[in-house]
Amino acid sequence: MKNIFESEKLLAHAFKALFDFVVSMDATGAKDEEAPAFSYILTPKQVDEIDRVCDANQWQKITTHGIEIGVSAIQHVLKARRLKDEITDAEILEVIAKAYSPRSLLRQNRDHGQQSLIFNTHQKVKVGNTAFHGLAVLELKTEVIGIGANAKVRTYLAPVTCYHANEAKIRAIQRNRPK
């Protein structure tokens, strides 16, 4: 358990560095390519869960076990949560950091094509005076790298958005577990 706590702390620091960079971009004039981007590496259990989702839906399995977290992923969440939910930047950062956890589960995002959800059932985040779960929406993407006989297909998960979900929503998602 100690390793999980340490990895969560390091991951939270990485999210904070990127989040702070994105928040300051307008004031500093910084460019996307200067950002401290990183990849969230899925745990073996999470890889197994997404493989089950892919098998159940006859989707191609992922070949890359990292989820690249960059400026666009944070910008979208920041804009959406500020406008739609009117929550603070600190709450937005907490929602994002809690969603991407070694303890998070992966499930299919029903009725949304090749999408999955990663969400944390072990740690809640306070938004206002209410406790929620951090949840990220991920999309299954495929790209061809190289050309001709040397071409390789890469299938990976990419961030779509992130939000806070209540207990009822999480229970409904958990019932949608592939065998």
- What's the pLDDT tens digit per position in 131-176? 999 999 999 999 999 998 889 999 999 999 999 999 999 998 887 6
The residue ranges of every structural domain in the chain are 2-174
When mean pLDDT is compared over 4-18, 46-60, 110-124, the highest value belongs to 46-60
39-55 burial, b for 16+ CB within 10 Å, e for fewer?
Answer: ebebbeebeebbebbbe
Q: What whole-number distance in Å separates Cα of residue 13 and Cα of residue 82?
A: 22
pLDDT at 4: 64
Averaged over 35-49, what is the pLDDT? 95
pLDDT at 84: 92
pLDDT digits (tens, 9 = 90+) for 62-118: 999 999 999 999 999 999 999 999 899 999 999 999 999 999 999 999 888 899 999
Averaged over 26-55, what is the pLDDT? 94
Averaged over 48-67, what is the pLDDT? 95
pLDDT at 175: 79
Q: pLDDT at residue 178 above 70?
A: no
pLDDT at 111: 81
Q: Which helix (H) or strand (E) holds 155?
A: strand 152-165
Both tokens of residue 144? 């061809």
The closest alpha carbon to 17, from 30, 36, 34, 39, belongs to: 36
Tell me how far CA of residue 101 lies from CA of 26, 56, 143, 150, in angstroms. Answer: 29, 24, 26, 35
Of 128 and 3, the structure prediction assigns the larger pLDDT to 128
Q: Which helix (H) or strand (E) holds 125?
A: strand 115-127
Q: What whole-number distance in Å separates Cα of residue 105 and Cα of residue 49?
A: 8
pLDDT band, residue 12 (cuts 50/70/90): very high
